[in-house]
Amino acid sequence: MSPFGSTGPSNYLQLEKLGEGTYATVYKGKMKTTGEIVALKEIHLDAEEGTPSTAIREISLMKELKHINIVRLHDVIHTETKLVLIFEYCEQDLKKYMDHHGERGALDPATVRSFMYQLLKGDFGLARAFGVPVNTFSNEVVTLWYRAPDVLLGSRNYNTSIDVWSCGCIFAEMISGVPLFRGRDNTDQLMHIMRIIGTPDERILRKVSPESSSDGPPKQYPIYPKIPFAQIITKASAQACDLLERLLQFDPSKRITAAEALNHPYFTAATSNVYGNPTSGTMAPPIYNYPYQGQVQQPAQFIQPMQTMYSSHAAAQAQAQAQAQAQAQAQAQARAHAHAQAQRQMMQATYVPTQAPYEGVGQFAQAYGHSS
């Protein structure tokens, strides 16, 4: 039986602050009677709205989840002004691990694959019991940099596809060491997304944005071309880029599901026991087995067969057409490459890694009481 089942609010000592999220602040704490180190997730309650529904869902679901790879909820303390969830304490989160073990934050391919596999297995940040009917959700979910475009556009009828988008953002960050989209607010975040995956057409905008009306045109956005992920995240393999492509679709209905992602060729070489479900077999050949820079050379490869099939005049015309096409593709590639290079430089120039949090016990540790 857990020693945390019958404790009161004054039985915990609040130590240093560990982090702050959209809905709560997390502190390192200690149980006075046992000395057990715990994590105290403190949710401030609104005087009028009371306990947020997100917290109620989290508590009800976490009580049912008991697994070695899922952080354990020990206890819940509820007062008039605060709701505190007492969790099992973990030494570090993914961001801190990347800062301490990565090369400028970037993790090695095997570690990325392992973490990505585990991430796709389950994220309960927006978990819901499927038996509970809900008509509309909040549009202030998910940390801004990992927020899906449909949520940024105000959609309230989202589903687990927004978690798939977040997984894609984290995937890219683990490979490169730098967050992929770093906006200051909803609108700026949307622009960061469009600068990389391209501006969607009017049909998709109408479908995704709840503000769009069939009677009038949707809001106009700058037209940005799509940049291949291979140019933005140069460390990513062809298979990783393909998986990113499927995870980071503007249209939520086009995003791959978590189950489909786990069956992607990117994971077929996952034979390590760290996955909990080892598979056999060798890595499948890359889906794109030629570099992006080589695509422009493809039209010329078909010129010689054409010369043997047609008259010299027809062959000359075909060759001229192929050369013109190759030149146009080269120009488009050069523009895309310049845009991608500028985007990478901007990402590196504007990203300031967060400092490692203070690891010691706070100077003024206080008893974790919850007086009104």
Token pair for 219: 């809001």
- For every residue of 225-284, DSSP letters joined together read ----HHHHSTT--HHHHHHHHHHS-SSGGGSPPHHHHHTSGGGTT--SGGGSS---SPPP
Cα separation, 26 vs 305, whole angstroms: 67
Contact criterion met (CB below 8 Å) for 171 and 116: yes
Contact criterion met (CB below 8 Å) for 326 and 299: yes
Contact criterion met (CB below 8 Å) for 208 and 250: yes
Say which residue the tokens 């622009």 belong to. 191
Longest dimension (CA), the chain: 93
Token pair for 71: 């952080």
The answer to whether 254 is a known ligand-binding residue is no
The annotation places the binding site for ATP at: 41
The annotation places the binding site at: 41
